[in-house]
Amino acid sequence: MLLNKLGISSYLTRMWQFNFHSPHMNYFNQKNLTMLLNRHGFVKAQDVQLDSLDFSTLKERIKADGGVNKLKAMFLSTGISLLKPLILSSKPDIRVFFFNKK
């Protein structure tokens, strides 16, 4: 929010993935998503944790950003891959939730 007020929007643009084929439209946490859907007659049936990064498609994902050429994508994906042990040891931050109508 502070960066946006200072006129630096690139971080938000990247986080919301505006240049990608499937931009993120909303972010929720488990508590507020469950409360919202419970209020509208749904009950959580299951939730699944996903890996934060799929290292098998990392270079292609980086190249999907229109401003990144092949060489830069190769260097970025190599650099991120070197951090793989650290990334895998951190707490995953992505979950998929499944709800059923009550």
The DSSP secondary structure of 13-76, one letter per residue, reads HHHTTTTSSS-------HHHHHHHHHHTTEEEEEEEEE-S--GGGHHHHHHTSTT--HHHHHHH
pLDDT of residue 100: 97
CA distance 56 to 54: 5
Can you give the residue ranges of every domain in the chain? 2-101
pLDDT of residue 58: 85
Q: Average pLDDT per run of 10 along the chain, which is 102 residues long?
A: 70 61 70 94 93 84 77 88 89 88 92
The answer to whether the pTM exceeds 0.85 is no
Q: What six digits make up the tokens of 21? A: 């084929």
